[in-house]
Amino acid sequence: MYDLPSLDVPALSAVNGRVRLPGSKSISNRVLLLAALCSGRTVLHELLDSDDTRVMLQALRLLGCGVALEGTRATIDGLGDRPRQAQADLFLGNAGTAMRPLTAALAVLGGAYTLHGVPRMHERPIGDLVDALRALGCRIDYTGQAGYPPLTIGTPALRLDQPIPVRGDVSSQFLTALLMALPLAADQAPAGGIVIEVQGELISKPYIDITLKLMARFGVAVQREGWQRFTIARDSRYRSPGEIQVEADASSASYFIAAGALSTGASGQNGLKIEGVGLDSIQGDIRFVDAARQMGADITGEPGALRVRPGRQPLAAIDLDCNPIPDAAMTLAVMALYADGPSTLRNIASWRVKETDRLAAMACELRKLGATVDEGPDFLRIVPIAPGHWRAASIATYDDHRMAMCASLAAFNPDGVPVRIEDPRCVAKTFPDYFETLFGIAQPRADVPVICIDGPTASGKGTLAAALAARLGWHYLDSGALYRLTGLAARRHGVALDAAHEPRLAELARALPLRFADGRVWLGDEDVSEAIRAEQAGMDASRVSALPAVRAALFELQRGAARLPGLVADGRDMGTVIFPAAPLKVFLTAGVQERAERRHRQLQARGVSVTLESLRADLQERDARDQARATAPLKPAPDALLLDNSALSIEQSVEQVLAWWQARQPF
Ligand SMILES: O=C(O)C1=C[C@@H](OP(=O)(O)O)[C@@H](O)[C@H](O)C1
Ligand SMILES: C=C(OP(=O)(O)O)C(=O)O
């Protein structure tokens, strides 16, 4: 997850290859609750791991369920045969699929519970559900504003003989919540069962389908008459199905379907395979496929997967009732920017009460990109952006995961402008690694941005480059480590570090079994992070790096490190040889005395005793060799900016380079 104030997505041209998406939020939180409400053990596979499921899991733990997690597999021991905590304070974040169903289940079971969430959750309505629950004898009190969480739950005196009315025009989750909760009271039901009657129009109907299908997997078949009347039989009882496989999230798939449809150039033609969800999905958002096809996307179903290729371009404008797919419809709003005429997305009033007012937010942010958008009470009309008129924009995301994921699709614009996503960590609600996943399959439209930090030994370039990479969310290339590793590998293989062995050394460099993981450096199975930092390794690196064949062998390896969303590369020839077209090159220097003192302090801290004088002499010797070598001598690139950090703290140097970088951005 990119835990940064903002993330810049470079212009993208295509997606290809294959991608496996995390589990469905709607399925995950339903099966977690159902597993908790039955007897026995349920093993859930491919469960979503995100903010929304974490709050549900934590709530279940507090209520007394057995919860064991191993990667994406959860083992739940239900409350049917375990003592339930009669009191609990449950924090449910911004998860509608936790707040609404838990309110109903706990209100029916009874106890002393408090349910609350993030500030936005306290603005998301729950009144229609509370009214329905109160009508059947549940005790619920609002502790803040009436009609909204937080709320407290007491012990009910259930009356189940009358049909229970519930409004369904604000959120289908109210009906879902009642459906999942009422089997818990089935033993008190009248002979005809418990009846729920939906008042008025029900929105987001396909989510009720998910609820009914999953309840059936847990042994409760609900009798449905249209979308108005639902009956839960008197003998209903949840039974664990043993194991459940969670489908990948169809709403999350919409971003990748859109990206596939927007792909251009040869690399997009092979298409993208989206694994974990197929056309037979039980999730309503799979119907996004129909809408995307209508716009021109070429989508085929495969067993448990989808394949998307660019079809018609520009996309065809649409006019669509999006009520059945409220979440994936947001993706259509961004696709509409690429259409051949204005598109209208209708019947989406529920957008106003989700993670943010999505109608207002979407209209505002699409306009920043250059679109003309009409925001109606329950519709959006979007005029596409003509090529040549896309604007590089910093997109606000309103703590709404879908705003962030949708905004990333603007990076496929034909004008090659990047897009800045503010607060990218909001994707944690349903897809924490969304951006990593996108960058893993996306092709940049132009070169991936690279910042080069070159400079002499002990100038602090490694520290600076690593800090910059962390601040920008970019990859980091420590090119010096490659030479150190080559030197180390040579010593391990008994190869002398001289020109006579150049071909063999180059061969070793080409085949380095290296791996960078969690800030550690591995050579084969050995963690060599410390070994390559030794003074000896530094001297060895300087020697092998003077050999042209070794440098050539490491060239491609270094070029290949430039991956989305960007790279900070430190070394001695990053700006001059490896990335001569890099948009920002910094040549970092510090006086030799200052560098010797820094290195001295570092070594002393590690318990290595050397004299300052010998370090100073070593540095001078290395500088001279690096500057004098025939291949890629150490010198600033003509367009490098010089930064003398002798009197600067690390933070000041970082801020300086970030300021230079920001000054080059269009935002
Ligand atoms: O039941 C569900 O899993 C959901 C129902 C939909 O909400 P509404 O019924 O409020 O539209 C949807 O937007 C939400 O992301 C998940
Ligand atoms: C509306 C959404 O979430 P929630 O389940 O919290 O309602 C959503 O994920 O788009």
Please tell me whether residues 465 and 369 are part of one structural domain: no
C-alpha span between 460 and 598 (Å, rounded): 9
CA 167 – ligand 1 centroid, Å: 15
pLDDT at residue 126, as a whole number = 98
Among 199, 220, 245, the domain-final residue is 245
| 218-232, 474-488, 584-598, 625-639: the lowest-pLDDT one | 625-639
402 is in an annotated binding site: yes
Residue 13 Cβ contacting ligand 1 at under 6 Å: no
- Which residue, by CA, sits nearest to atom 16 of ligand 1? 26
440 is in an annotated binding site: no
CB atoms within 10 A of CB 501: 17
Whether the CB-CB separation of 285 and 251 falls below 8 Å is answered with yes
Residue 307 Cβ contacting ligand 2 at under 6 Å: no
Please tell me whether residues 426 and 535 are part of one structural domain: no
- Residues forming a β-bridge with 373: 382
Please tell me whether residues 290 and 363 are part of one structural domain: yes
How sure is the predictor about 518, in pLDDT bands with cuts at 50, 70 and 90? Answer: confident
Q: What is the ipTM of this complex?
A: 0.98
- Among 429, 431, 434, residue to substitute to test ligand 2 (most atoms within 8 Å of Cβ): 429
Please tell me whether residues 459 and 426 are part of one structural domain: no
Tell me the per-residue pLDDT of 53-95, one tens digit each, with 9 for 90 and over. Answer: 999 999 999 999 999 999 999 999 999 989 999 999 999 999 9
CA 153 – ligand 1 centroid, Å: 23
- Which residue, by CA, sits nearest to atom 1 of ligand 2? 354
Q: What contacts 24+ positions apart, CB below 8 Å, involve 59-63? A: 59/88, 59/90, 59/91, 59/92, 59/98, 59/102, 60/32, 60/33, 60/36, 62/88, 62/89, 62/90, 63/36, 63/88, 63/90, 63/106
Please tell me whether residues 491 and 345 are part of one structural domain: no
pLDDT at residue 629, as a whole number = 78
CA 355 – ligand 2 centroid, Å: 7
Closest ligand to C-alpha of residue 176 is 1
Q: Strand 526-527 vs strand 567-571: parallel, antiparallel, or unpaired?
A: unpaired
How sure is the predictor about 462, in pLDDT bands with cuts at 50, 70 and 90? Answer: very high
- CATH number of the domain bearing residue 317: 3.65.10.10
Please give the helix or strand (H or E) that residue 514 lies within, else none. Answer: strand 514-517
CB atoms within 10 A of CB 609: 8
Please tell me whether residues 17 and 84 are part of one structural domain: no
Residue 117 Cβ contacting ligand 2 at under 6 Å: no
Please give the structure tokens belonging to residue 97.
Answer: 């699929």
Please tell me whether residues 191 and 100 are part of one structural domain: yes
Closest ligand to C-alpha of residue 204 is 1
Please tell me whether residues 258 and 299 are part of one structural domain: yes
The pTM (predicted TM-score) of the whole model is: 0.96
Can you give the C-alpha Rg of the chain in angstroms? Answer: 30
C-alpha span between 540 and 528 (Å, rounded): 15
| 3-state class (DSSP) for residue 596 | helix
- Taking 90 as the threshold, does the pLDDT of residue 52 lie above it? yes
Tell me the per-residue pLDDT of 621-633, one tens digit each, with 9 for 90 and over. Answer: 888 887 887 877 8
- Amino acid symbol at 6: S
Catalytic: which of 327, 400, 423, 626? 327
Residue 148 domain-assigned (yes or no): yes
- CATH number of the domain bearing residue 547: 3.40.50.300
CA 260 – ligand 2 centroid, Å: 24
Residue 51 Cβ contacting ligand 2 at under 6 Å: no
Please tell me whether residues 43 and 141 are part of one structural domain: yes
CA 518 – ligand 1 centroid, Å: 37
Among 427, 444, 461, the domain-final residue is 444
Please tell me whether residues 488 and 536 are part of one structural domain: yes
Listed in order, strand segments (DSSP E) in 540-650 are: 567-571, 584-589, 641-644
Q: What is the domain extent for residue 217? A: 25-245
Is-catalytic flag, 327? yes
Please tell me whether residues 432 and 530 are part of one structural domain: no
Please give the structure tokens belonging to residue 117.
Answer: 């969430």
Helical H segments across 577-649, by residue range:
592-605, 612-628
Burial of 29 (0-12, 13-18, 19+ CB in 10 A): buried
| 248-262, 332-346, 522-536, 571-585: the lowest-pLDDT one | 522-536
Please give the structure tokens belonging to residue 421.
Answer: 């996503």
Among 195, 217, 245, the domain-final residue is 245
Residue 1 domain-assigned (yes or no): no
Residue 495 domain-assigned (yes or no): yes
Mean pLDDT along residues 555-559? 93
Please tell me whether residues 620 and 474 are part of one structural domain: yes
CA 284 – ligand 1 centroid, Å: 10
Residue 154 domain-assigned (yes or no): yes
pLDDT at residue 568, as a whole number = 97
Tell me the per-residue pLDDT of 475-491, one tens digit each, with 9 for 90 and over. Answer: 999 999 999 999 999 99
- Which residue, by CA, sits nearest to atom 6 of ligand 2? 96
Closest atom of ligand 2 relative to the 97 alpha carbon: 5
Residue 268 Cβ contacting ligand 1 at under 6 Å: no
Tally of domains within the chain: 3
Residue 87 domain-assigned (yes or no): yes
456 is in an annotated binding site: yes
